[in-house]
Structure formats: structure tokens, C-alpha cells
Structure 1
Amino acid sequence: MTDSTTDGGTARPSLADRLLQPAGPRRTLALSNFVDALGSGMFMSSSALYFTRVVHLPMSQVAFGLFAGAMVGLGAGVLGGTIADRWGARETQLRVMVSGTVFMGCYLLVDTFWSYLLVSILIGVVFAADKSSKAPLIRGFAGDDPAGFRAYLRASTNLAVALGAVAAGVAIQFDTAPAYLALVLGRALSFAGCALVLLRLPHLAPVPAPALNGRWEALRDRPYLVATVLNCLMSLHFAVPTFLLPLWIVDHTQAPRWLVSGVLILNTVIVVTLQVATGRNVDTTEAAGRRMRWAGVAVAAGLLLMLAAEKPSPWISAALLLTAVAVYTLGELWHSAAAMEYSFGLAASHAQGQYSGVFGLGGGVAEALAPVLLGSLALGLGRPGWYLLGAMFLITGLIAGPLIAWTVRHAPQRSAGHTPPG
């Protein structure tokens, strides 16, 4: 029998503990999150093709359905998080996953715009409620290293999404109706699989709410709302590698077109590899403020390097773009670590789901506005637009820490019901 202790008698963590999480609730939660994200990667990469090539809807109707689902989901996230806070996050998550299984399966039956729109709205509610109802579980089972556990979840989520996208790429290569139907079915099965894993998670008792706190306290919490708005502004950059950069490479640089895939792969590899390291020790609002400052500088520098790739020869342009993505991705990592700490560290422990739903409002608005804003500035205005974008991210990163710290100091009502950050 192999001894699992060191010479000094100290228990040595197993390979599974090092690569995964220690056996128990954290490993179970991480596994359920991975299964959910795997299906998400499959669906995100292929949904537009399924609706246009199999259901035969025009792209304008597909875009409107996705937009409608996202907008309805903004409010549903706050409501879903509140339900999780009051009646149990595990039970709420289970119901969300079962609903996701059923509604995603309904996509296999849509054959008109109106049926597609209805199912898209229901799916939008599921997506939003999934995030906000999961937040109390993450907070409750994070253990002694919440920042490290959140970073681990984000890294594993990115890996799962990438693997799901690879599976979608295989199906897209076949370009047949059964292949696209299999991807939609795979997403439905990932919801079901996530629910099955969650059954192994112990019940997490809701944190009692202090008396006289009011029903929608997250919407009245000024420091949290300030953090939400600032995170919304910074989150606009998430559309850079997926929306802005592919168009920039193909239409405005001489770099080879295969670099569109190359930069996305580089971005994913850096995120998966460094997410845990960059998220470690970001467990106070002060540390989050420093990361936001670094993020603003790195994202702005990455944009300037992308702009510099406009006129050089193909291989110099390619080198500049790869360097730009590496610098930008560091900013993405620092921003993600800061955002996670603001989302959890500034929230009241008894209302983590509701607070996460409010924080998700900012992310949802950014996701909806990013293509229009980035496209009109960088691609519409050209060089001045790139400078404006870089300045916006730089200023947002620089002011986030001091501004949030100031609002916390001048919000005495936060003393009741809030866990002191850090």
C-alpha cells in the first residue's frame, strides 16, 4: 500500500486533490459547475447556426430572441437569487437545472419565430437564475480560501467552455441537422447532469436576515451599486476577443486569418493556466481595488497594441496581436479576480443570491451594449475610437478602488447584516 504521508508525518494531498478540489462539497460544486459550463460551450458556439440552418429563422429574428431572453433574465437573476437566499440555494439550483433541461429540450421543437421567442425568454430566465442562485452555494462552501475557490471555479469554467466549443466545432464541420440537434440535446443533458451532481451536495441552511433590513436591500446598497456600475463599464472589454478582435484582424490588418482562432486559443490557455494564481489573495476590497487598477492599465495597453497591428507586414502584425492578447488577458484575469471579490465581499451574507443578481445586472447590460459600443468606436471612428476605449478602461480601473472605498466609509447603514470584507 502506498503511504500518502511525507517523512514528517504530514498528510500529502492526492493527485485528485491537487487537480480537483478536496473531496466533499467543494469538489461536488466544482463538478456540477464544470458539467453546466461544458454544455454552455457547446450551445454558445452553435446556437446561431442551429436556428438559422435547421429552424430556418432569419438572423435578425434570432438576434432579437437572444436579446429578449437576456433582457428578461436581468430581472429574473435578482428574483432567483432572493429565492435562493430565503428557501435554500441547493434546492433553488436543482429547480433551475431541471427547468433548464425542459426548456432547452423545447428548442428541439420550435418551428416558428413565436415559439422560438417564448423558449428564448424562458431560457434567459434560467441562465440568469443559474448564476444568482449558485452564488450562495459558492459562498457557503468556499471554506478557508474563498478567493482561491472562486478563481478555481472560473478557471475550470473556461476550460469546460473551451472543451464544449471543440465538441461544437466537430458538429459544425459535419454541418447537418442531426449534428446541430445533438448539440442542443447535449446542452439539455448538461443541465440534467448538473442536477444529478447537485443531489450529492448537502443542504445549505439560509443565513438568517437581520430584522428591519427590507426586502430589496441590494438595490439600496450604494457601495454595491457603485461597484456594479464600475464593473459594468469594465466588463465591456469581454467582447474584445470574441467580437472586436476577429473583425479587426480580418478587415483591418494584414495578419493571416487563422490568427482569429489563434488569439482565442491563446486567451483561453492563459485564463485557464493563470486564473487561480492571479485570483489568489484577492480577499479584501483593497486588494480588489489594486487588481482593478492593474486591469485598467493592462486592458488599455492591450488595445493600443492591437491598434498598432493595423499597418505592419503580416508577421509583424501577427506578433503584435499575439502580444496584445497576452497583455489584454492579464487585464481580464485581474478584472475577474476583482469583480468576484466585489460581488462576494461587499454583499450581505444573508442575501448573497440577491446581491449577485444585482451584480449580474451590470454584466448583462455590458454584454448587450458591448458589440454596439466597441463596434461604433473602434471600427467606426478608427484610431480616435481606440484611444477613447483605452482611456475609458484605464480611468475606470484607476478610480474603482478609491471610489468604492469612499462609498463604503460613507455608508454606515452597511454595518448591519454585512460580513466585513476580508
Structure 2
Amino acid sequence: MDTNVAEEAPRPLPTRPPRRPGWTTTEWWNQPVGPIYLVGLVLSLGRGAWFTCWAMFFIRSVGLSTAEFGIGVTAAGIVGMIVGGPLGYLADRIGAREVLVGLGVIQGAAILSYTVVHDFWLILLATCIMTAAERSAPGIRIAVISGLTTGEDRMTSISTARVFTQVGVVVGALVGGFVLSLDTRAGYLILLGVYGGLHILCAMLLALRLPHVESLADRRVKRRALVLRDRPFLVLTGLHGVLALSWGMIDPGVPLWISHHTHAPLWIWAVVVGISATGTVLFQNRVSRRGATVPGAARLGLWSGLALAAACLVFAGSYHGSGATVITVLVVATMVYLVGELLFVASGFGLSVGLTPENAHGEYQGTFGIGQATAMMLAPGIMTVLLVEWAVVGWFVLAGLYIAGGVGTYFAGRWALAGRAAGRERV
């Protein structure tokens, strides 16, 4: 017998085809919230381009004075702050999709009106309308997503929508920079026409492709506003607004600081923006998963405040710095800030959605957005005083505000959760 039997060669293990990212598949875009992602990406492209050069359009092309421009922006910010809650309640009443579509048409028409109006009061009116729609739309969008998703998919979908928005804003800012470099009325008008037209086209897409979210009218339910009696949620709204000053800190706060109190090259500002935007795209979904529950979101709020405070202290270390040292300090500070921003956004998603009754997402999201709108309205003035006038001392004051906001968010989240548990026991 021949004992020299050749050993059988090992069979190769079956290989699995590489898994494609969800957004590269048709099925992913055909899911119920798919149109929200697409519209968010397209409109944020326009938004990034427009807000890069809107100040120069009004001052150099329309001919407004800097005082008139400042008055208009402030008035529009106040209007945008006030209307969020009522529009959110309207979304619950008649349908979140319908209100979102209406806001898109209204905002598009207001933007297009800039191409033909020159009177200050008409421009002020258009700006107030546009800002009211722009500030209200994100909350209504979250209400739509909340109505179309459940469980873990809800938080993932909300954070994914933010990622697409961030990508669009960054790319759009590059387009806006090109238009700004041309600095011609024709360039501004073309941008306005495209941006306004996209709003109307996207509203039509949502009307045709986005499923209807069941409303109070569908259920034949009549009720008063709930959120105004929810004291823990209102407190959280205010505390979230304190943490939302972080957006105003990174813009315009950091550019003002760099130009007034450091010898850093101005191009470092582009690096700061790039780090923040890239980090959001890469990590926001992962961080948001840790805030899927109210206790988890409250803890993220605490850590957010501490991280933002730490970023303030590192930024303060760049005072009168120059050369490679100041660049290194600013980059490190931006990375610490990014951690705080990611945690802050995830905390806001988790708290605002997790504490909302199922039939009141529009109302609660609209009210929660008031904290952000207030912060964005006040941020330019606050950052100018703290970071330009008070210099290093201003960074310490800002750090204290963030710590107070983070600690307050943690305890207010526990308060809100305890109140809901007590309410269920009474039932």
C-alpha cells in the first residue's frame, strides 16, 4: 500500500463581499426618512454659500449701512426665537410634513424677494420671514423624523440628518467664498436665485416623497399646549441655550480672538473650521448613540460643559502667542472643543426627543429650539465683549458658563425623568 498520500490542500474560507456604506445604496435613500437627508444636504449647500456672503450682499450690493444691517439681523433673530413654539404646535395640530413643506416655500419666496427689493423695510420684512422659517425648520424636521422612526433608529436618523447638513454647509461655504471673491451683483443674484429656487423645489420633493406624519387632527384630538406646563423641559431648554453659545464661540468668537489677541496667521481659522466640520461628519453618529436614553443624554450634557470649559482654558493659552506654538495651541483647543460640541449636540438630541410625549414632537422641538435661537442671537455681542474686550478673563467667564450649563443639564435631566416616573405612577 502506498502510504505517501498527498495531504489535501486546505479549502479557502468563503469570502464575504465588502459591506457597502448604507448611503451608497438605493434602498437607503428610499427609506421613509430618505427625502429628509437629501433635502437637508441640498439646502445646507445653499445655506453655506449664502451665509458666507450675505453681509457683503446687503452692504455692498443693496447699499444698506452697517447699522441697518445690524438692526435687521437682530430683529430677524428675535422673530426667529419667538415663532418656534407656535409653529411646532401647529405641526402637531395639522401635520409636521405639511408645516415643513410650507416653511420651505415661504423661505424660498423670501430669499427670491431679495433680488427685486431695495427698500430697507421690505428687506427687513423678508429677512424676518426667512429667519423665522430657517430657525423653525430644524425642530419641525426632527418632529418628522420622530414620527417616522422608533427606538434606536430615531436617534440614528436625527444625527445622520445633522451629518448631511454639516457636509453641505462646508461645501457650500467654498462656493460662497468663490462668489464673494467675485463681489459682483450678478454673482450674488445668481446665488440667491439658485438658493431660493432650491427651497421651493425641495419643498415639492418633500410633499411628493415624504410620508404623512399622523397629526392631532387625524386622531380628532383637541388639546392645549403641553410644553408650557413642563417646567423641567423649559429649564433644560434654557440650559441647552447656554451650551449652544459654543456655536457662537467658534464663529465669530475664535476669529475675533485670533485677530485681536494672537499673532497667528489668519489661515488658521480655516483649520479650526475644518477640524470641527470633519469631526462632526466622522463621529456625530457614534457619540449620539450614547445619548439615546435620557440619563445618558443628561450625562453627555455634563461632560459637554466640562469639555467646552477645558477648551476655553486652552484657547486662553494662545494669548499673544506666535509662530508654531500658537498654531499648536489653537489646534489642540479646537480638538477639545470638538469633543464638547459632539457631546452637546448628542445631549440635546437625546433630551429633547426622549422627554417628548409621542403626540407633541413638533411643539417640544419648536420650544427646545428657542434656547438655540436665543444663543445664536446673543452670541455675537457676548463673544465680542468677552473675547475682545475682556481677553483672557473672558475665556474664564465663558468656561464658568459652560460648567454651569453642563452641571445644570445633568440635574435638570434627572428632575425631568423623576417627574415623568411620578406621573406614570399616578396613572
Q: TM-score, normalised by structure 1?
A: 0.91
CA displacement, residues 19-66 of structure 1 (integer Å, 9 cap, x when unaligned): 894532122221122122222112211111111111011121112112
Superposed displacement of residue 86, structure 1: 1.3
Superposed displacement of residue 328, structure 1: 0.4
- Which residue in 2 is equivalent to 1:84? 91
**Aligned residues of 2:290 and 2:297 also touching (Cα < 8 A):** no
- For the pair shown, which has the larger CA radius of gyration, 1 or 2? 2
Alignment of 1:232-251 (within 5 A): 232-251=241-260
Within 1, Cα distance between the matches of 2:258 and 2:160? 31
Query: Of residues 264, 277, 290 in structure 1, which corresponds to 2:273?
Result: 264
Gaps of 5+ in 1: 1-5
Q: 1:399 to 1:81 in 2, by over 3 A?
A: closer
Query: Of residues 316, 324, 327 in structure 2, which corresponds to 1:318?
Result: 327
Identify the range of structure 1 (339-348 vs 14-23) with the bigger mean alpha-carbon deviation. Answer: 14-23
Alignment of 1:45-194 (within 5 A): 45-143=52-150, 144-194=152-202
CA displacement, residues 79-103 of structure 1 (integer Å, 9 cap, x when unaligned): 2211111111112211111112212
Within 1, Cα distance between the matches of 2:278 and 2:79? 33
**Aligned residues of 1:78 and 1:355 also touching (Cα < 8 A):** yes
Query: Of residues 24, 32, 44 in structure 2, which corresponds to 1:37?
Result: 44
Matched residue type, 1:157: T
**Aligned residues of 1:132 and 1:353 also touching (Cα < 8 A):** yes
Q: 1:211 to 1:24 in 2, by over 3 A?
A: closer
Superposed displacement of residue 151, structure 1: 1.3
Superposed displacement of residue 13, structure 1: 5.8
Identify the range of structure 1 (371-380 vs 11-20) with the bigger mean alpha-carbon deviation. Answer: 11-20
Matched residue type, 1:167: V
Alignment of 1:379-398 (within 5 A): 379-398=388-407
Superposed displacement of residue 382, structure 1: 2.4
- Which residue in 2 is equivalent to 1:345? 354
Q: Secondary structure at the match of 2:62?
A: coil
CA displacement, residues 296-324 of structure 1 (integer Å, 9 cap, x when unaligned): 12111111111101133321001000110
Q: Secondary structure at the match of 1:25?
A: coil
Q: Report the RMSD for the aligned CA atoms in angstroms.
A: 2.5
Matched residue type, 2:190: A
Within 1, Cα distance between the matches of 2:299 and 2:39? 32
**Aligned residues of 1:147 and 1:341 also touching (Cα < 8 A):** yes
Within 2, Cα distance between the matches of 1:157 and 1:23? 19
**Aligned residues of 1:104 and 1:188 also touching (Cα < 8 A):** yes
Within 2, Cα distance between the matches of 1:236 and 1:404? 19
- Which residue in 1 is equivalent to 2:229? 220
**Aligned residues of 2:312 and 2:333 also touching (Cα < 8 A):** yes
Q: Secondary structure at the match of 1:57?
A: coil
**Aligned residues of 2:256 and 2:384 also touching (Cα < 8 A):** no
Q: Secondary structure at the match of 1:54?
A: helix
Q: Secondary structure at the match of 1:109?
A: coil
How high is the sequence identity, in percent, across the aligned residues? Answer: 28
Identify the range of structure 1 (175-184 vs 306-315) with the bigger mean alpha-carbon deviation. Answer: 306-315
Superposed displacement of residue 226, structure 1: 1.3
Superposed displacement of residue 259, structure 1: 0.8
Matched residue type, 1:59: T
**Aligned residues of 1:78 and 1:358 also touching (Cα < 8 A):** yes
Superposed displacement of residue 412, structure 1: 6.6
- Which residue in 2 is equivalent to 1:276? 285
Matched residue type, 1:305: V
**Aligned residues of 2:29 and 2:35 also touching (Cα < 8 A):** no
